């Protein structure tokens, strides 16, 4: 969608361009308003006043506290006055409905004629009613007041009854909670009386005694580990050297017995060693001594096992005593916590007692109000007169309609202008971007081309390949309007090239999908069909498509040539490669001229294409191809999204911008041209792509945006035709006259 700079010049241009819409819209709105509107009959309005007072007694305030929400009570009463129960009661009182009939229609009618509002910040409500006569308005207002008071009193009595029931339930609940709190307090005192009565200073004695018990457990555990280690290692002589702290008499006695046996065993062992100095192990005395050592060892093991058992008994007994001592210590330490729990339970019981007393007092007050039936709504003023409501005349409404029509017409005109993405005539295009239009390419009809290719290569080619190949209309459909347009483009470009002996041309666009690759490939094919040695270089290293258009392989290509990783002769594609590619022999020979065309595809994808295009190798390549070819066309990435085109712009002789009307804003094309020129590029002109064509087969006229090959002129338009033209959304009714195609094409 095109962008519009909001300034006085553009506003004047839009108003002048869409003047018939701006003139016709208020005229139509005024006539329609005057015709369709009618002068309504007089309407009468009557008003009654009622006052609502809040209760000042304790019982009334308790009722409000229980039943009313935090919202404004007066606003609630305003809503109740126009509610269904009140208005249905009014309809019954005025006999607007019969018993058993549906009250929806009467309710809707009354709701549209009855309103209520609060007078300032007071407690007075104004009830207003409208009707076709003064008497009916007065009667309706008073009837609404009576029905509302009846509804208010019934609701109030119901609220009081609900309050009594609520307080009774609440009183029973608080009483039950009070009994539960008192029971919890009694049970707590009974269960924790022993802990609460303990002396807090006993905690110090208990901690000292627990330390002694723990020390005893550690000593006996150490002794147990020592005895077990000696027994398992059979180093009984070390028992005599071990110092074991044992305060248990039985364990001490067992340790002494074990020491005696260990000493006897040690003596026998020493005696045996002494005897072996002068006797052999088979001597009778040595054998007898071995038997004594064995017997003493058995005795030592038995006494050590008994000692281990006794040590385990002492350890377990001491642990049990320590556990009892710690439980007693925990009980003493919990005394402050238990005291706090006692205070909480006592406070809870006291609070429940106070709540129970307060609820009993409130219940008594509300029961008194239930019996007394206090009045808190008063009629301040009944309806006794009615006034008429002024209605605007048809002339006034027509003037309002005309003003609305001017606003709608202006807004609609600017919407149409925003949706109009065309650039108007060629003169408008040239004035907007300060450049020339080199060619106007119509919408390419490709279905016939696809059908012919399916017959020849349908089994080999995919739908995507058929779509890409069919865009090469200069080769596959040379007699079409699109081919004629590309030959016209070729003629215009060739005339510019001849003036400066230029060869290298860069083709790009502002954004993606504007038809730059299609324009570049068809223009290259058109030059080749004219006998020019043509080279097309695919420098769009991000989304290369030239190889797909001609059905050749992409690798090796331009990037391999610049990186010097392949032989240059392997990087170029000629007509032989096209025949051996996806085209096949028959499709490649559809139209003569491809033998003059050479393709340099993009090659393998690289990480930093912009840096590669800045390499000196590209400059050397362009110098070489200038000597070998008559025309060099370079397809590069779109200009605004990436910087590839800015790198190549100073290195080429000219730049052609492809622009698809309606895809990008008009000012985007202008900004693209300015940015290219800022880096030293020379823009030759613009190609307008994908122009919807209108073909009149009877007269043989071909028109794009109503430009014609002949000099036929339309007759002057009538007012109806001008109005129809003004209401057309598209800008396609502007006359564009491109250069006339040459006779030889």
CA-nearest of 635, 396, 405, 403 to 539 is 635
CA distance 657 to 654: 10
- Name the pLDDT band for 8 (thresholds 50, 70, 90): confident
Element (H, E) at 237: none
SS3 380: strand
- Residue 483 and residue 474: Cα distance in Å, rounded? 5
More confident: 451 or 570 = 570
Token pair of 647, please? Answer: 């790198």
Count CB-CB contacts under 10 A for residue 132.
12
Residue 54: pLDDT band with limits 50, 70, 90: low
Positive or negative torsion for Cα 97, 101, 106, 107:
positive
Is there a contact between 437 and 686 (Cβ–Cβ < 8 Å)? yes
What is the rounded CA–CA span in Å between residue 179 and residue 199? 32
What single string gives the DSSP state of each residue in 41-98? PPEEEEEEEEEE----SHHHHHHHHHH--SS-HHHHHHHHHTSHHHHHHHHHHTT-S-
CA neighbor of 4 nearest in space, from 419, 380, 411, 426: 419
Query: Helix 58-67 crosses helix 134-191 at what angle (to 10 degrees)?
Result: 90
pLDDT at res. 716: 40
Rounded Cα gap, residues 655 and 675, in angstroms? 12
Of the candidates 547, 531, 526, which has an alpha carbon nearest to the alpha carbon of residue 630? Answer: 531
**pLDDT band for position 620 (cuts 50, 70, 90):** very high
* Total residues found in the chain within this entry: 745
Phi, psi values for residue 173, rounded to 5°:
-65, -45
Query: Is the backbone peptide bond immediately before 119 cis, with ω within 30 degrees of 0?
Result: no
Instruction: Answer with the residue of higher pLDDT: 2 or 561.
Output: 561
Percent of the chain with pLDDT over 70: 83
Mean pLDDT of 214-227: 86
Q: What are the φ/ψ torsions at residue 428 (nearest 5 degrees)?
A: -65, -40
Task: Check whether 741 has a pLDDT greater than 90.
Answer: no
Q: How far, in Å, CA of 669 to CA of 510, rounded? A: 6
Q: Which residue has the higher pLDDT, 416 or 619?
A: 619
Q: Are 693 and 443 in contact (CB under 8 A)?
A: yes
Q: 134-191 vs 73-81: helix axis angle to the nearest 10?
A: 130
Q: How confident is the model at residue 694 (pLDDT cuts 50, 70, 90)?
A: very low
What's the mean pLDDT in 133-143? 89
**Which is more confident, 609 or 379?**
609
CB 195 within 8 A of CB 221: no
The pLDDT, as a whole number, for residue 542 is: 92
- Highest mean pLDDT pick, 4-18, 188-202, 262-276, 455-469: 262-276
- 395 contacts 68 by C-beta, under 8 angstroms: no
Among 539, 542, 475, smallest CA distance to 508 is for 539
Phi, psi of 82 (to 5 degrees): -100, 20
pLDDT of residue 240: 75
What are 658-689's pLDDT values in tens digits? 998 767 777 888 899 999 999 999 999 999 98
The pLDDT, as a whole number, for residue 524 is: 96
**228 in Cβ contact with 309 (< 8 Å):** no
- Give the dihedral sign, CA 150/155/158/164: negative
Q: Report the distance separating Cα 1 and Cα 8, nearest Å.
A: 21
Token pair in block for residue 408: 């709608």
Per the structure block, which two tokens stand in for 523?
């223009």
In the DSSP assignment, the letter for residue 394 is: H
Query: What's residue 438's pLDDT?
Result: 93
pLDDT digits (tens, 9 = 90+) for 261-317: 888 888 888 888 888 888 777 888 888 888 888 888 888 888 888 888 888 998 899
Instruction: Provide the β-strand partners of residue 442.
Output: 691
- Tokens representing 323 are 């556990």
Tokens 């070729």 label which residue? Answer: 490
H helices of 542-653, in order, are 546-550, 558-563, 568-571, 575-580, 584-588, 609-613, 616-628, 644-648
Cα torsion 10, 13, 17, 19: sign: positive
Six-digit token string for 495: 């005339």
CA distance 74 to 96: 29
Sequence-ordered list of residues with C-beta below 8 angstroms from that of 66, at least 6 positions apart, any chain: 162, 163, 166, 167
Burial readout 299-325 (b: 16 or more C-beta within 10 A, e: otherwise): bbbebbeebbebbeebbeebeeebeeb
Instruction: Write down the H helix ranges in 334-437.
Output: 335-372, 394-419, 426-433
Rama region for 403: left / alpha / beta (φ>0; ψ in -120 to 50; rest): alpha
Burial of 744 (0-12, 13-18, 19+ CB in 10 A): exposed
Q: Is the dihedral of CA 541, 543, 545, 547 positive or negative?
A: positive
pTM of the full structure: 0.46
């Amino acid at each position: 969608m095109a962008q519009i700079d909001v300034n006085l010049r553009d506003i004047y241009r839009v108003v002048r361009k869409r003047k018939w819409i701006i003139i016709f819209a208020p005229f139509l709105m005024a006539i329609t308003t005057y015709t369709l509107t009618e002068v309504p009959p007089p309407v009468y309005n009557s008003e009654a006043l009622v006052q609502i007072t809040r209760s000042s007694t304790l019982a009334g305030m308790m009722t409000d506290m229980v039943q009313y929400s935090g919202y404004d009570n007066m606003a609630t009463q305003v809503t109740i006055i126009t509610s269904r129960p009140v208005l249905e009661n009014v309809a019954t009182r005025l006999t607007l409905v019969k018993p058993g009939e549906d009250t929806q229609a009467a309710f809707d009618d009354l709701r549209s004629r009855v309103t209520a509002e609060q007078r300032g910040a007071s407690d007075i409500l104004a009830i207003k009613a409208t009707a076709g006569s003064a008497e009916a308005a007065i009667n309706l207002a008073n009837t609404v007041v009576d029905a509302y008071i009846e509804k208010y009193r019934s609701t109030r009595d119901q609220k009081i009854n609900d309050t009594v029931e609520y307080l009774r339930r609440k009183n029973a609940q608080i009483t039950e909670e009070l009994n539960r709190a008192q029971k919890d307090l009694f049970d707590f005192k009974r269960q924790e009386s022993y802990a609460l009565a303990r002396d807090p200073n006993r905690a110090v004695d208990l901690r000292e005694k627990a330390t002694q018990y723990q020390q005893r457990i550690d000593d006996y555990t150490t002794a147990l580990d020592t005895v077990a280690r000696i027994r398992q290692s059979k180093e009984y002589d070390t028992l005599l050297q071990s110092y074991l702290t044992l305060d248990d008499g039985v364990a001490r006695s067992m340790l002494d017995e074990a020491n005696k046996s260990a000493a006897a065993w040690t003596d026998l062992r020493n005696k045996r060693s002494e005897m072996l100095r002068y006797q052999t192990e088979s001597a009778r005395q040595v054998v007898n001594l071995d038997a004594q050592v064995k017997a003493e060892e058995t005795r030592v093991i038995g006494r050590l096992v008994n000692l281990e058992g006794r040590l385990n008994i002492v350890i377990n007994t001491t642990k049990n005593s320590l556990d009892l001592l710690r439980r007693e210590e925990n009980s003493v330490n919990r005394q402050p916590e238990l005291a706090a729990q006692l205070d909480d339970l006592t406070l809870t019981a006291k609070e429940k007692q106070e709540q129970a007393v307060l609820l009993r007092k409130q219940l008594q007050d509300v029961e008194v109000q239930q019996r007394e039936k206090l009045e808190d709504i008063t009629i301040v003023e009944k309806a006794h007169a009615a006034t008429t409501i002024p209605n605007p005349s048809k002339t006034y409404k027509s003037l309002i309609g005309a003003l609305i029509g001017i606003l709608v017409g202006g807004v609609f005109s600017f919407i149409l202008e925003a949706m109009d993405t065309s650039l108007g005539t060629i003169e408008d295009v040239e004035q907007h971007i300060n450049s020339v239009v080199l060619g106007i390419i119509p919408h390419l009809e490709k279905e016939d081309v696809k059908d012919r290719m399916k017959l020849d290569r349908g089994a080999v080619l995919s739908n995507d390949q058929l779509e890409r190949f069919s865009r090469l209309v200069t080769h596959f459909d040379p007699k079409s309007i699109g081919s004629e347009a590309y030959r016209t483009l070729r003629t215009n470009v060739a005339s510019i090239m001849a003036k400066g002996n230029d060869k290298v041309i860069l083709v790009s666009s502002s954004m993606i999908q504007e038809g730059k690759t299609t324009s570049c490939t068809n223009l290259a094919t058109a030059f080749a069909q004219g006998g020019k040695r043509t080279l097309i270089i695919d420098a769009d290293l991000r989304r290369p498509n030239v190889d797909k258009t001609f059905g050749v392989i992409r690798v090796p290509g331009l990037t391999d040539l610049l990186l010097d990783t392949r032989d240059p002769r392997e990087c170029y594609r000629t007509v032989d490669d096209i025949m051996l590619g996806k085209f096949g022999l028959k499709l490649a020979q559809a139209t003569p001229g491809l033998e003059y065309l050479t393709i340099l595809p993009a090659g393998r994808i690289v990480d930093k294409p912009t840096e590669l295009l800045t390499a000196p190798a590209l400059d050397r390549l362009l110098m070489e191809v200038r000597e070998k070819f008559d025309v060099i066309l370079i397809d590069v990435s779109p200009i605004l999204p990436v910087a590839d085109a800015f790198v190549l712009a100073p290195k080429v002789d000219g730049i052609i911008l492809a622009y698809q009307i309606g895809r990008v804003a008009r000012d985007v094309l202008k900004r693209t041209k300015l940015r290219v020129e800022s880096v030293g590029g020379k823009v030759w002109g613009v190609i307008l792509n994908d122009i919807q064509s209108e073909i009149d087969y009877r007269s043989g006229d071909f028109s794009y945006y109503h430009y014609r090959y002949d000099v036929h002129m339309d007759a002057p338009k009538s007012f109806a035709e001008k109005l129809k033209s003004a209401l057309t959304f598209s800008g396609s009714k502007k006359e564009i006259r491109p250069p006339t195609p040459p006779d030889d094409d």
